[in-house]
């Protein structure tokens, strides 16, 4: 939704949000404003203290005294708003406004990022470039485990002492900001967002293949700056240009849906999706398991509870009027582990049941599609579960009808997202990618406009594009190969695929155009002669004594028609 807003304007927006965040943190240390709003005589404020109320933690009433609203503003207003943005407006909206993402770019803005020495296969010389996380490194392969672990730890610290103490919360936020700046110095691009930020798995869960109002990068008519990809403004021309340093491929900031499908089987992906629901349930239920009632949570009393650190080793559970002597510092993480483990196992079981049910109904689906279906269901349930509890300490103070309207909005938004996402398939995405490339090739060809029946090429759907291409190229194999070569070249330019993955990615297109596997290599050979950089860019090399060449890639043939194209890597 914000992908077309200029970087200059977004830079101002991010500065304002970052300043606002710092002001809020400052108020957590010294707040002369909001405590007056919570005085019991301030009848206009629904957050005021009620002297006649007794909010219990077990058998003890919390003291009724004025408090700063900064903590409840953060946890019960700002954080829920972020979750709503992710599902409705998508990652591109969130990434372009996120103050933490903005702050992580401070080292880049100051020009003090760590550099590394690399070999350029095109110039056959060494050069220095900004260091990035290697895709084949441990972090590149297992960052989802790291981010999930940080998320697990962060939620634990929230309940133990960050939630109710504004000084600890402010310090926690400042520490997180410092970490993002450090990562921004060590690694280029959005490495903080992609490999370290604990909110990234949450974003993955709620975005899915696409949000409700987000843009779809693969349908862009021209390759360029898409979605929330890194960008800068050329000082000479004033035009936006890509600032991508290839810190991650595929990148959610360039094409969210491509990233979704390609990372569906990445290590830790199921743990993120299925375990997150358990973490949401565990987080809110622990307030009940600890205090013995729901008033403690829904009134927001936990945002102003003092002396939390001194209670780390108090009994962590209070069930049926009985304290269970497990220290709170341990009980919190036991609760998380049990609930997250249960939903993780439940998700795996539902995947199998989904495939069996579809086979029983004579509509068999692949394991990947079953995984996507269950992922989508878990995302919707997580969204509804979160808003059944999240933001309630502030929402429940609204009048009845506005509250009911908000509840209806949450149900409706989740249902629409579920409806749009549930039947989405990888093949639909790939077909739309290739249809867009074919559309460009058709514009270059001369053909009978009667095929369009008064419509423009831009109005045609993906299926109609394939039918039109088949009709035009049916009588000429040369036209079919020409259309295929042009489409493949466009896909490589847009990085929808690379030289290695193009063989499998375009298999359906070859079938539609009645081309064989050798035609694919012939197309690659032609592209190599005209634009060799498109093929070289997908092959990394580190030694000048053995430079990468394009010819070994395009000359290679596969012994199996289903085997992916493999390039020689050095």
Q: What does the DSSP 8-state code read for residue 569?
A: P
pLDDT at residue 373 above 80?
A: yes
Which comes out higher in pLDDT, residue 289 or 447?
289
- Quote the pLDDT of residue 424: 94
Least confident of 104-118, 357-371, 491-505: 491-505
Please tell me the predicted confidence (pLDDT) of residue 551.
42
Evaluate if residue 541 carries a pLDDT over 50. no
Give yes or no for residue 280 having a pLDDT over 90.
yes
Alpha carbons 100 and 84: distance in angstroms, whole number: 18
State the pLDDT at residue 323. Answer: 94
Instruction: Give the integer Cα–Cα distance in Å for 393 and 287.
Output: 13
Share above pLDDT 70 across residues of the chain, in percent, rounded to a whole number:
90
Q: Which of 382-386, 450-454, 522-526 has the highest mean pLDDT?
A: 382-386
Interval 467-482 mean pLDDT = 69
pLDDT surpasses 50 at 565: no
How far apart are alpha carbons 331 and 527 in whole angstroms?
61
The H-or-E segment that residue 118 falls in is strand 115-120
> Quick check: helix, strand or coil at residue 129?
strand
The residues that bridge with 115 in the sheet, in sequence order, are 130
3-class secondary structure per residue, 218-272: HHCCCCCCCCCCCEEECCCCCCEEECCCCCCCCCCCCCHHHHHHHCCCCCCHHHH
What single-letter DSSP state applies at residue 309? G
Give the pLDDT confidence score for residue 93 in this predicted structure: 93
How do 315-319 and 322-327 pair as beta strands?
Answer: antiparallel
| Confidence band of 379 (pLDDT split at 50, 70, 90) | very high
Residue range 198-216: mean pLDDT, rounded: 92
- How many other CB atoms are found less than 10 A from the CB of residue 462? 19
Q: Which are the contacts of 377, defined by CB distance < 8 A and separation ≥ 6?
A: 350, 418, 422
Q: State the pLDDT confidence band at 450, using cuts at 50, 70 and 90.
A: low
- For the chain, the distance separating the N- and C-terminal CA atoms, rounded to the nearest angstrom, is 41
CA–CA gap between residue 567 and residue 570 (Å, rounded): 10
Q: Which of 292, 219, 164, 232 is nearest to 462 (CA)?
A: 219
The rounded mean pLDDT for the chain is 86
Q: Over the stretch 43-96, which tens digit does the pLDDT of each residue have? A: 888 888 887 889 999 988 988 888 999 999 999 999 999 999 999 999 899 999
Contact 99, 18 (CB under 8 A): yes
Least confident segment among 347-351, 398-402, 438-442, 505-509: 438-442
- Give me the pLDDT at residue 539, please: 44
Q: How confident is the model at residue 192 (pLDDT cuts 50, 70, 90)?
A: very high
At 444 the pLDDT is 73
CA dist 359 and 380 (Å) reads 24
> Mean pLDDT over residues 383-401, rounded?
93
Predicted confidence band of residue 440 (pLDDT cuts 50, 70, 90): confident
CB under 8 Å, gap of 24 or more: what pairs does 155-161 form?
A: 155/279, 155/283, 155/336, 156/332, 156/333, 156/336, 158/283, 159/283, 159/286, 159/287, 159/290, 159/332, 160/308, 160/309, 160/312, 160/328, 160/329, 160/332, 161/308, 161/309, 161/312
For 250-278, how does the pLDDT look when each residue is reduced to its tens digit (9 = 90+)? 899 989 999 999 999 999 999 999 999 99
Between residues 530 and 148, the one the model is more confident about: 148
Per-residue pLDDT, 549: 39
Domain ranges of the chain: 7-422, 426-555
Cis peptide leading into residue 250 (ω within 30°): yes
pLDDT at 477: 61
d(CA 422, CA 370): 10
Contact between 558 and 565 under an 8 Å Cβ cutoff? The reply is yes
Dump the DSSP string for 30-95: --SSHHHHTSTT-TT-TT---TT---EETTEEPP-----SHHHHIIIIIHHHHHHHHHHT-HHHHH
The predicted pLDDT at position 516 comes to: 86
Report the pLDDT value the prediction gives residue 556, as an integer from 0 to 100: 46
- How many other CB atoms are there within 10 angstroms of residue 263's CB atom? 16
pLDDT at 77: 92
477-493 vs 517-530: helix crossing angle, rounded to 10: 60
DSSP-derived 3-state class of residue 116: strand
């Amino acid at each position: 939704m914000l992908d077309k807003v200029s970087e200059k304007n977004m830079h101002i927006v991010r500065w304002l949000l970052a300043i606002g965040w710092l002001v809020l943190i400052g108020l957590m240390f010294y707040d002369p404003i909001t405590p007056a709003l919570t005085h019991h005589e301030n009848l206009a404020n629904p957050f005021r203290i009620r002297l006649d109320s007794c909010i219990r933690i077990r058998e003890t009433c919390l003291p009724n005294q004025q408090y700063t609203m900064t903590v409840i503003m953060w946890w019960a207003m700002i954080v829920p708003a972020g979750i709503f943005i992710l599902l409705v407006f998508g990652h591109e909206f969130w990434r372009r406004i996120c103050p933490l993402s903005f702050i992580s770019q401070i080292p880049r803005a100051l020009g003090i990022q760590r550099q590394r020495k690399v070999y350029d296969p095109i110039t056959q010389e060494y050069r220095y470039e900004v260091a990035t996380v290697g895709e084949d490194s441990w972090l590149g392969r297992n960052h989802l485990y790291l981010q999930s672990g940080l998320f697990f730890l962060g939620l634990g610290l929230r309940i133990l002492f960050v939630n109710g103490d504004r000084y600890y919360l402010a310090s926690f936020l400042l520490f997180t900001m410092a970490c993002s700046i450090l990562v921004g110095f060590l690694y280029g691009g959005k490495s903080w967002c992609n490999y370290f930020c604990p909110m990234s798995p949450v974003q993955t869960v709620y975005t899915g293949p696409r949000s409700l109002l987000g843009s779809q990068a693969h349908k862009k008519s021209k390759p360029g700056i898409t979605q929330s990809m890194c960008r800068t403004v050329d000082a000479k021309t004033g035009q936006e240009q890509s600032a991508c340093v290839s810190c991650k491929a595929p990148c959610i900031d360039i094409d969210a849906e491509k990233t979704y499908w390609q990372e569906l089987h990445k290590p830790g992906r199921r743990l993120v999706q299925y375990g997150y629901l358990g973490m949401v349930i565990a987080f809110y239920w622990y307030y009940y398991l600890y205090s013995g009632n729901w008033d403690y949570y829904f009134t927001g009393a936990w945002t102003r509870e003092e002396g939390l650190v001194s209670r780390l080793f108090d009994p962590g559970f209070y069930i049926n009027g009985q304290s269970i002597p497990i220290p709170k510092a341990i009980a919190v993480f036991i609760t998380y582990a049990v609930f997250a483990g249960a939903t993780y196992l439940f998700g795996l079981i539902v995947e199998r049941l989904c495939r069996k049910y579809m086979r029983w109904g004579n509509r068999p689906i692949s394991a990947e599609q079953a995984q996507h279906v269950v992922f989508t269901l878990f995302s919707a349930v997580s969204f509804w579960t979160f808003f059944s509890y999240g933001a309630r300490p502030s929402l429940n103070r609204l009048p009845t009808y506005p509250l009911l309207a908000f509840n209806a909005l949450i149900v409706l938004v989740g249902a629409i997202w579920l409806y749009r996402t549930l039947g989405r398939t990888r093949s639909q995405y790939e077909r739309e990618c290739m249809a867009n490339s074919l559309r460009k090739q058709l514009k270059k060809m001369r053909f009978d406009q009667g095929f369009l029946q008064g419509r423009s090429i831009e109005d045609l759907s993906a299926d109609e594009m394939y039918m039109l291409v088949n009709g035009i190229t049916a009588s000429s194999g040369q036209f079919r190969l020409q259309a295929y070569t042009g489409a493949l070249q466009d896909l490589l330019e847009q990085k929808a695929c690379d030289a290695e993955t193009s063989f499998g990615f375009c298999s359906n297109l070859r079938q539609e155009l009645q081309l064989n596997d050798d035609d694919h290599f012939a197309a690659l050979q032609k592209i190599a002669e005209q634009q060799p950089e498109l093929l070289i860019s997908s092959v990394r090399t580190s030694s000048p004594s053995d430079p990468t060449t394009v010819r070994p890639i395009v000359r290679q043939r596969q012994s199996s028609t289903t085997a992916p194209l493999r390039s020689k890597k050095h």
